[in-house]
Amino acid sequence: MHGPLAFFLPLMLAEPGSIPGLHSADQVVARMIARDSERQAALHGYTAYRRYVLENRAHHKQAEMLVRMICREDGSKQFEVVTASGWSGARKHVFPRLLEAEIDAARPDLRERSRITPDNYTFEMAGTADVRGRLAYVISIEPKTQNKYLARGRIWVDADEYAIVRVEGQPAKNPSFWLKSVHFVHDYNKSGPFWFPVTDRSVTDARLFGATEMTIEYFDYAPNTIP
């Protein structure tokens, strides 16, 4: 449900063994999980804004929505729609379902099912790449189950801080018969000591409506402070 196919990913692939001391994807993932746990322990929730833009060029349809998101310390999420305009079908049906699906996936009892961990995926080193001036490991991910919360594709892991900086791929399970394919690219960036999503781009090819592009921009992050 998420990246235009024309979105260019500048890769400068190198041999996986070109960085001394790390010989497997599993080693990188283990460090990634450890560092993520440290960051999550220091993050006591946050608020942020998102701008959703949905466009179907074949049918000359476009919709936009601005939301305020509250992420609680346990990872659960709450959304407040600030404004919405454009294509009424998207505003009434697509946007609400997107928010509902994310609220569901972020539930504490379900969140582990969507995390990029050895419980959910197998990993294979594909090389290294430059992402916005930072070196990253490129790792292929293969879901262990056809879980609707999982994906098949690649992740880019920052070689210094072991944070995911990009995810690209397709859902492990097609969410609907009416969708022929979904391709997405999620990008993350550092804000203070934390790494947050900055853009999601996706193309969904539906049997009836053709290709629909979705772009989500994330901004104005404000981590909660503990007195």
What domains can you pick out in the chain, each with its CATH number?
16-223 (2.50.20)
- The tens digit of pLDDT for each residue in 2-56 reads 333 333 333 333 344 445 455 699 999 999 999 999 999 999 999 999 999 999 9
- 169-198 pLDDT, tens digit each: 988 876 654 455 688 999 999 998 999 999
User: Nearest-CA neighbor of 152 among 119, 195, 183?
Assistant: 183
Supply the pLDDT for residue 89. Answer: 87
Where are the extended beta strands (E) located within 24-163?
46-56, 61-71, 77-86, 121-131, 134-143, 151-158
When pLDDT is cut at 50, 70 and 90, the band that residue 140 belongs to is very high
CA distance 157 to 217: 21
Query: Which position has the higher pLDDT, 147 or 167?
Result: 167
Question: What's the mean pLDDT in 75-99?
Answer: 93
pLDDT at 211: 79
pLDDT of residue 207: 57
Q: Which of 160, 157, 161 is nearest to 29 (CA)?
A: 157
